Amino acid sequence: EVQLVQSGAEVKKPGESLKISCKGSGYSFTSYWIGWVRQMPGKGLEWMGIIYPGDSDTRYSPSFQGQVTISADKSISTAYLQWSSLKASDTAMYYCARLITPGVYDYWGQGTLVTVSS
């Protein structure tokens, strides 16, 4: 069974760093792109970027380039999303998802809620 399991909710202060994770199982982790999607409170879905764990090829949305870093450790089938300095506006639910074909996400993680507040 394909599963993407994300790390738990986080509460951080502005300026702090954070790395959240997404662990894949039940399939060949290195053979599928993994994407990250942001959903701010009460809002829609925003594509942040993708990574191919097989060779760590990474692409970012222009809106998120330079704001976050996407990485993966294929030895433990885990993708990451990290911030070096959080802002209150980073408060959101973050989802990872597997791509079955370019741009199409078939399996999603349960989401990680990130709250940034002083």
* Residue 62 contacts residue 51 (beta carbons within 8 Å): no
* Residue 10 contacts residue 114 (beta carbons within 8 Å): yes
Determine which residue in the list 41, 44, 66, 75 makes contact with other proteins, applying CB under 8 A.
44
How far, in Å, are 25, 45, 91, 92 from residue 42 at the CA level? 30, 10, 12, 9
66 is a site residue for other proteins (CB under 8 A): no
Minimum CB distance to other proteins, residue 93 (Å): 9
Q: Look up residue 28 and give its two tokens.
A: 């060949």
32 is a site residue for other proteins (CB under 8 A): no
Minimum CB distance to other proteins, residue 63 (Å): 9
Q: Which residues bind other proteins (CB under 8 A)?
A: 37, 44-47, 49-50, 59, 61-62, 95, 97, 100-106, 108-111
